[in-house]
Amino acid sequence: MEAQEAAVGYDWLRWSTGAIGHRLTGSIQGSMAERAADSLFRLSGLPRVERFPFEAQAWSRGMVKLTIGDGTGFLHLAAVALANTPLESDVEATLIDAGNGLPMDLDGLGEALKGKVALVNIGLVDAPKGTSNLHRSEKAALALARGVSAILFVNQVEGGVLLTGTASIDGTLIPVPAACVATEDGTELRARLAQGQQLTARLSMSNHSDRVKAHNIIAEIPGSRWPEEVILVGGHLDSWDLATGATDNGLGSFSILDLARAMQAHTTRPERTVRFVLFMGEEQGLLGSRALVEHYRATGMIDQVKCMINLDMSGNPRGFGVGGPGTWATQVTEVCDRIRAVDSVGFKGEVQEAIWLHSDHQPFLLAGVPVLYPLSDLGGHVYGCYHSSCDDIHLVDPMAMVNNVRRTGLLIYGLAALDTLPPHFKTDQLRERLIQAGLEGPLRIGGDWPWE
C-alpha cells in the first residue's frame, strides 16, 4: 500500500531532470545529485545515511569534429566523442570497415587494420546466429591491440541518434580517439567503401579530465532478527551528459530512493539489514562500486553482504534474474511464487539464471557475492535512447517505477525472512560459472579475470 498509494519516486525523478539535469560524475550536476539523494534518504527517515567518498579521474567532453574525404571533396558528419578518449587528438587516416568489431572481424583484416580508422558497429549486424556481442569498451581494446589509429562506432538506432559511453574498460584514457556516428551515416560510409571508394577520416577532439572526489550515497534499515546479515540493493545515480539520464539510470536509482522511503514507513521491519546504495561513476568504469567492494573486501565486510540486488534500467519487473551458487535460484523462485500470489497482474514470477557484466553488480559478483536483478522489458523507445540525447523524463512510465518498488520490496522482505540464505560462490564455483556464461573472454580483455 505504501509503495503504491504514497509513491513519490517519479515525482522526485521529474524534479531532478528539471532542476539538476544530467548527473555526470565529477560535474557540478553530479555533486548536486549526490546531495539531493543524501537529503531524500534523510527526509524519508532512514536511521543511517552516509556518503562513501572515493577519488576518480573524471572525464568530460569538449569539442569533436569528424571530416570524411574521398580525394575530391570533404563531408562533415555529426559525431559524439566516447568517454575516456584523449584530451587532445587530431588523427587522419584511411577508413576501413571492421564490421561488428569482434575478434573474427578483426582477425579477418589482419595487418590491414594498422594505422587505420576502424568503422565498428556498436550492436550486431548480419552476425551468425548465436553470436555474442561485446561491450564497446571491449571492442575498443581489441581494436587498439591491433594498432588502429582511431575508432568510429556506428549506432544501430535509427533517426540520427548519437550514443555516448565509455571506450575504456578501467576508466583510464585510451590512446586514440573514438567517436560515434548515426546509423544512417555509418550505412552510407559502408556502402561507399563496398563500392571500392578510398575514404579518409579525420577525427579531431579535445576533452577534459580531472581528479575529483565523488560519493556513493548509502542508507540502511537495520534488520530486526539478523542485523549482521546484509541484503544490499543498489543502482547507479550517475548518468551521461547528453540528456538527463531519466531511464539510465534515474529509473533505477530513484526507485531505490522511493523503496527506502516505503520500507522505512512500513510498520514491518525486514529481518535482515537492508542497505541501499546509489553508486556514482558507473558510466565511467564502475568506479563507485569497485571502490566500495575494495573497501568491503579489505575490512571483511564483504562476508556480511549476503546478496546484491542491482536496479539498472529496470521497470515493471516480470521476475528476477539470479546469479548464485547452490539453492539461490530455488529460494528466489519460492519468493517469486509468493509475490505472484499477491501481485498476479503483470508479475509472472519468472526466474532466470544468467549473469552479465558492465553494471555495478560486477565487482560484487567477482568478490563471490550472489547477484540478483529485475527482469524487465522497457521497450524499444527506451532502449533506443540509451546513452543519448533523448533519454529524458518523457520515456518514464510512473507505474514502471511503482512496480519496481513493490516487487523488489517484496523480494527483499521475502529473502530477509528466510531462515538461512545460501552462501557466496566458492572460488572454483565462480570460475566455472563465469566460463559457462561465456564471460572469461570479456573479463580477460578488461583485465578483470581473477585467475591465470
Residue 230 sits in a domain whose CATH number is 3.40.630.10
402 lies in a domain? yes
**Mean pLDDT taken over the chain:** 96
Confidence (pLDDT) at 170: 84
322-377: per-residue pLDDT in tens?
999 999 999 999 999 999 999 888 899 999 999 999 999 999 999 999 999 999 99
Q: Is residue 214 part of a domain?
A: no
**pLDDT tens digits along 166-202:** 999 888 999 999 999 999 999 999 999 999 999 999 9
- Report the pLDDT averaged over residues 93-98: 98
pLDDT of residue 364: 98
pLDDT tier at 122 (50, 70, 90 boundaries)? very high
Dist. CA 277–CA 293, nearest whole Å? 12
Q: Is residue 56 a part of any domain in this protein?
A: no
Longest dimension (CA), the chain: 76
Q: Do 324 and 309 meet the contact criterion of CB atoms below 8 Å apart?
A: no
In degrees to the nearest 10, what's the CA dihedral of 322, 326, 328, 334? 130
pLDDT the model gives residue 397: 97
CA-nearest of 420, 421, 416 to 227 is 416
**451, part of any domain:** no
Q: Which whole-number Å values give the CA distances from 364 to 234, 237, 361, 424, in the listed order?
A: 11, 17, 5, 10
Residue 405 has pLDDT above 70, yes or no: yes
**What pLDDT was estimated at residue 1?**
65
Question: In this structure, is residue 215 part of a structural domain?
Answer: no
83 DSSP assignment:
B
Containing structural domain, residue 142: 63-208
Per-residue cell: 136: 564497446
Question: Looking at the domain assignment, is residue 31 inside a domain?
Answer: yes
- Whether 2 shows a pLDDT value over 90: the answer reads no
Hey, is 408 helix, strand or coil? helix
Residues 6+ away with beta carbon under 8 Å from 205? 62, 63, 64, 65, 81, 85, 86, 88, 89, 177, 179
For residue 129, pLDDT beyond 80: yes
- The average pLDDT across 125-147 equals 96
- % of the chain with per-residue pLDDT over 70: 100
Which domain-ending residue is among 176, 208, 240?
Answer: 208
Q: Of 165, 182, 208, at which residue does a domain stop?
A: 208
Of 131-135, 214-218, 344-348, the one with minimum mean pLDDT is: 344-348
How far is it, in rounded angstroms, from Cα 37 to Cα 249?
13
Q: Give the number of residues written for the chain.
A: 452
The domain boundary residue, chosen from 208, 243, 271: 208
149 and 281 co-located in one domain = no
Residue of 273, 262, 212, 243 lying closest to 58 (CA atoms): 212
> Which of the four pLDDT bands, split at 50, 70 and 90, describes residue 452?
confident
Based on the fold, state whether residues 27 and 70 are members of the same structural domain: no
